[in-house]
Structure 1
């Protein structure tokens, strides 16, 4: 069992690589590639009625064995064979005990949902850390399957999508720190009201001491590029500044993070119970004053900040538990409210995992409204 946690001192035993090879990464249309610099650096419908649609087929691998078939057989009895996602360790001490969340009762009277009727653009990142001691198995599959899922079921065009995987033969399509940062900048560049942007990351995550006082638990969350050993990790503050802060009012950004300690990776102030109630915040008043946004930002993360997220095998094929559950839940029923989808994702993972997927947002939302992409 492998976790996607790189902040713990002990690594979970690694799962042997599956014999099937991921299919060759197809490069996005040239217009979708970001330019690289030398610096690092809704009107929503009412509560939806359940409606079960035909489950989509996953993108097939060019190897003798296809991609994991998480979307082709969504039967409720499908079993996940776990392998937590672990991660390289940032330099920090053990995390202090997290405070109990406080209920938030105020609302955002001037917040406007995105209709998601404008431009659709997506960045999908999958890193298996090939050849490294902390190698994972399902992350590249996750990125490809989410890429397929968005194209075939949510109206995203390949020319407006960027896929970064560490098996790519194109250096510009490798998930290095530089390429990820440039990809994030590309994702939000020129964003307008009612656009729908999608950011998916599957790989290692961790925590490091908070240096600017914006985290209640005293720890920043991080993600690890494939070259983290030389280029370093990417901190949640930087991710927020790149993909959240520049967004205009009524622009939607949906983030799906399949990594350890990812609960507040976008630094969004509102966290939700599965019953739809706001349950509090892991950011400080100082954060809210400095990082507030009028954009419609939603984050689905694989676990709480204090938890690890699993790298799993489904029907013999490697996948991340959160990526798998997110696609499976929406495939079974694409007309779910925010709260219903959160419950669906948690239900899929509950039998096999202790990780608890999280929903957070930039503004207090009505979780009885239909979730759209």
Structure 2
């Protein structure tokens, strides 16, 4: 193992001298060229030049969070659409990326027997990735966790459905949308004939025991079916039984190297209104997702950690390469006994394995198409 000091933008491999960007969430990383393991000795990734260098990232984050919570509380009292559309009433700097929006949802289920420890970390890591790598603006990222003080930012069933409306509202060609969920997922027997396996998949809001889960049918209706031409949606779902949680028509079989038809036997249309919907799920519908502390030192979802590591280490990665890289990271963590199944699913007799799943509203060329948010 070699050691490298981060200057916030690049590090150099001591073996092949390749320049690369540091992975801000990791204590060590592999060189993408020679696979040399590099120990990272600092974690003070340089802040954007617009941020006062004397102010810590934590202080800035807390300050901006307080401002967002204050403004959202005010707007929620005056409008049924409590989340403002990005681009309206914002600064000129904000308008540089008016078409990038994200909903990041992490559910911990605090003080429950099925509490999860890594979901808030997942949201924080995803937010940093969107801000630093893909040019998202803070004002265009809606975070729902139990740590939020604004009651409208808690990951309840109603708030998540409201966030879906905010995400999709007034979209125009060129917009890029992201929905990220880290939490529990469940399966339910279905009776309307639109599931090949006979089960609906769902995500579990914090109040799912009283208000119910959010079914794949609900998610599809909310953010897939209305998606207009020229708009791309990426859903990243780190939960058990999440393989087809968006009910998209096509699922990629990485072992066979081909797309599988997932269109419902009932003939119901599950595609978009001309846009492109892509979903990366933690595991197949019959599988469990896992948490791990192997990658960041703190508990987080194995899917989220492997996704972030793959995207950071390999800029310009294709979708097929991304799936392979994610699987390699999860397999390595599994071999080192660092995976823990998400607790709720232990009550259901599901297969304990995890392979990331790619589903899509159309059959894209994953060998050539580069991943971009």
The normalised TM-score by structure 1 is 0.69
SS at match of 2:266: helix
Deviation at 1:277, TM superposition (A): 3.3
Q: Structure 1: give runs of 5+ residues left out of the alignment.
A: 1-50, 58-68, 79-116
Matches within 5 A, 1:329-368: 329-353=310-334, 354-367=353-366, 368=368
1:173: which partner in 2?
153
| 1:291 aligned counterpart, secondary structure | coil
User: Counterpart in 1 of 2:205?
Assistant: 225
Deviation string for 1:16-69 (max 9, x for gaps)?
A: xxxxxxxxxxxxxxxxxxxxxxxxxxxxxxxxxxx9731242xxxxxxxxxxx3
Equivalent residue number for residue 73 of structure 1: 28
Distance 1:323 1:52 in 2: 25
Q: Choose between structure 1 and 2 for higher RCO, CA contacts under 8 A separated by at least 6 residues.
A: 1
**Partners of 1:237 and 1:217 in 2: CA distance:** 14
User: Which structure dedicates a bigger proportion of its chain to helix?
Assistant: 2
8 Å CA contact 1:163–1:173 kept in 2: the answer is: yes
Distance in 2, Cα, partners of 1:275 & 1:204: 26
Match of 1:104 in 2: none
- Partner residue, 1:253: 233
For 1:237 and 1:328, how far apart are their aligned partners in 2?
31
Q: Is the Cα contact below 8 Å between 1:53 and 1:334 reproduced in 2?
A: no
Where structure 2 has 5 or more consecutive residues not aligned to the other structure, the ranges are 1-17, 39-96, 335-352
Partner secondary structure for residue 312 of structure 2: helix
- Please tell me the root mean square deviation across aligned C-alpha atoms, in Å: 2.0
Between the aligned partners of 1:269 and 1:277, the Cα distance in structure 2 is: 17
Shift of 1:245: 0.8
Q: Kindly name which structure, 1 or 2, has the bigger radius of gyration based on alpha carbons.
A: 2
Contact 1:52–1:334 under 8 Å retained in 2: no
Q: Which residue is 1:55 aligned to?
A: 22
| Count of residue pairs the alignment pairs up | 272
Structure 1 residues 371 and 175: alpha-carbon distance in aligned structure 2, compared to 1, 3 A threshold: same
C-alpha deviation, 1:312, in angstroms: 1.6
| Per-residue Cα deviation, 1:257-277 (whole angstroms, up to 9, x for no partner) | 000000000111111133783
Runs of 4+ aligned structure 1 residues displaced above 6 Å come to none
Contact 1:144/1:163, CA 8 A, preserved across alignment: no
Q: Tell me what 2:306 maps to.
A: 325
SS in 1 for 2:114: coil
Match of 1:278 in 2: 258
Whether the 8 Å contact between 2:193 and 2:265 is mirrored in structure 1 is no
Deviation of 1:160 (Å): 0.7
TM-score (norm 2): 0.69
